[in-house]
């Protein structure tokens, strides 16, 4: 299972069976032809116009403003459409052709040539190309995933990027800026465990000087340490400073690369991914003679912690008992309103040869929406002779708005069953 902040594009079995689909889809006012690659569902498409990060007073909007206020001299770019080509999402960022994130089991495709972006980094090239030397961009991103309190197939990321000249004068100015930021942090209640600016396992790119790469890594770390202090440092002081640690990481589009973790309320939390931008990205953006950094952070993950929001589905609720608890631009602690009772139902079936668990989750989300609180696999079985696979899933239903009656839950389970049979061709046990 991956985390929300920077869920890595992990390996999973490819999705082989083609779901039945209409021949065209209407998406954000565009008519799009489907093909054998289409796996996007109506439940997902219904989220595209919502744009939660622009809703004044919504915790995601407040968090976005907070991040923007830290990077006050950065251009705030409005999110382009989430419909992108696989080339934009992967190729221009140097993802290898066989990268597992491209699999239909992990990402949503409208057809072979159009997908929903899986991360905000998709827009690095065009953002740098707009001749902004520093920019921030907030975007809805889409990944196929399991169903529980911290996973939702739509979430939000903020991407930030900055470039510097590589001439001696520009690097000298950067060095001075770094020193000034460092002095501020030294006086602040923050304890930083650093990672080397580069190392043999986290190398400087060919074509970058080690000195320039180190200055840029340092600039990245200083800027983000300041952000961590702004987001999480409220209760820290000299005796109990905020603890931040930098860890070497790996992304296809940065080198060296880093992750940031923060110790908050007794736990280390993974907050963001970052690194020195691949020079090929800047070449594609046509900004010669520059070197730069980029980071991407997951807004839900951070907002759930800062506002004490216990379930990721709440971000999407229209319940006033949620929204009335928040005011624009203020971090406040969410007080959960009474939970309605949950009901669980199990379902066992033989899976088709190419059926992936994520196909089952998408059927559940499509049929019952956010009433599905949690889906877990209780049991798996492979028939020793035929090799057929079967599984038992436990679906937990709970409305966030009202009590469900048993007959309703059974009816929902029936619809899930019928759709699994109809769409995925599974066979009940
Ligand atoms: N796009 C990465 C993710 O979604 C995060 C990232 C952004 C990493 C920018 C490096 C630079 O996990």
For residue 273, the ligand 1 atom closest to its alpha carbon is 8
Answer yes or no: is pLDDT of 63 > 50.
Answer: yes
**Element (DSSP H or E) covering residue 59:** helix 59-70
Mean pLDDT for 267-294 is: 96
The pLDDT of residue 364 is: 98
- Determine whether the shortest distance from the Cβ of 153 to ligand 1 is under 6 A: no
17, pLDDT greater than 80:
no
pLDDT value, residue 335:
96
Give pLDDT tens digits for 298-337: 999 999 999 999 999 999 999 999 999 999 999 999 999 9
Residue 182 alpha carbon to ligand 1 centre in Å: 24
Ligand 1: residue whose CA is nearest its atom 10: 274
Residues 357-404 have pLDDT tens digits of 999 999 999 999 999 999 999 999 999 999 999 999 999 999 998 999
Distance 219 CA to ligand 1 centre (A): 17
CATH number of 44-323: 3.30.930.10
Interval between CA 229 and ligand 1 midpoint (Å): 20
User: Confidence band (pLDDT; 50, 70, 90) for 338?
Assistant: confident
Per-residue pLDDT reduced to its tens digit, 340-349? 999 999 999 9
- 210-232 and 168-186 are packed helices; what angle lies between their axes, rounded to 10 degrees? 30
Task: Show Cβ contacts of residue 237 under 8 Å, excluding neighbours closer than 6 positions.
Answer: 189
Q: Transcribe 272-328 into DSSP letters.
A: EEEEEEPHHHHHHTT-TTEEEEEEEEEHHHHHHHHTT---GGGGG---HHHHTT--T
190 Cα to the center of ligand 1, angstroms: 24
The domain defined by 3-34+339-428 carries CATH number 3.40.50.920? no
> How far is 43 from 91, CA to CA, in rounded Å?
28
Domain ranges (residues) in the chain: 3-34+339-428, 44-323
Residue with CA at minimum distance from ligand 1 atom 7 = 296
> Contact, 321 vs 407, CB < 8 A?
no
């Amino acid at each position: 299972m991956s985390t929300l902040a920077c869920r890595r594009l992990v390996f999973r079995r490819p999705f082989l069976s083609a779901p039945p689909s209409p021949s065209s889809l209407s998406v954000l006012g565009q008519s799009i032809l489907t093909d054998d690659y289409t796996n996007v569902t109506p439940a997902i498409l219904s989220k595209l116009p919502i744009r939660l990060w622009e809703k004044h007073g919504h915790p995601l909007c407040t968090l976005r403003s907070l991040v923007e206020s830290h990077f006050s001299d950065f251009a705030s770019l409005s999110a382009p459409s989430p419909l992108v080509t696989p080339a934009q999402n992967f190729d221009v960022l140097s993802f290898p052709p066989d990268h597992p994130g491209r699999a239909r089991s992990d990402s949503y495709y409208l057809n072979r040539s159009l997908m929903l972006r899986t991360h905000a980094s998709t827009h690095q090239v065009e953002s740098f190309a707009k001749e902004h030397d520093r920019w921030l961009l907030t975007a809805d991103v889409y990944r196929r995933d399991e169903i529980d309190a911290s996973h939702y197939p739509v979430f939000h990321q903020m991407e930030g990027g900055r470039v510097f000249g590589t001439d001696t004068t520009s690097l000298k100015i950067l060095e001075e800026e770094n020193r000034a930021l460092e002095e501020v942090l030294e006086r602040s209640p923050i304890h930083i465990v650093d990672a080397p600016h580069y190392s043999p396992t986290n190398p400087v790119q060919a074509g970058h000087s080690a000195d320039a790469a180190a200055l840029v890594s340092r600039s990245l770390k200083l800027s983000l340490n300041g952000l961590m202090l702004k987001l999480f440092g409220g209760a820290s002081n000299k005796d109990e400073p905020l603890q931040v640690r930098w860890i070497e990481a790996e992304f296809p589009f940065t080198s060296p690369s880093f992750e940031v973790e923060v110790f908050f309320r007794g736990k280390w939390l993974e907050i963001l991914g970052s690194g020195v931008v691949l020079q090929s990205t800047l070449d594609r953006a046509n900004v010669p003679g520059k070197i730069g950094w980029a980071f991407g952070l997951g807004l839900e993950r951070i907002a759930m912690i800062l506002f004490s929001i216990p379930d990721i589905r709440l971000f999407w609720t229209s319940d006033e008992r949620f929204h009335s608890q928040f005011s624009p631009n203020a971090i406040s602690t969410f007080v959960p309103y009474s939970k309605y009772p949950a009901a669980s139902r199990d379902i066992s079936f033989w899976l088709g040869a190419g059926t992936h668990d994520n196909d089952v989750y998408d059927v559940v989300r499509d049929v019952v929406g956010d009433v599905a609180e949690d889906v877990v696999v209780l049991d798996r079985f492979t028939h020793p002779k035929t090799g057929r696979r079967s599984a038992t899933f436990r679906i937990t239903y709970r409305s966030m708005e009202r009590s469900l009656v048993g007959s309703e839950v059974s009816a929902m389970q029936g619809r899930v069953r019928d759709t699994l049979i109809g769409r995925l061709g599974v066979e009940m046990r």
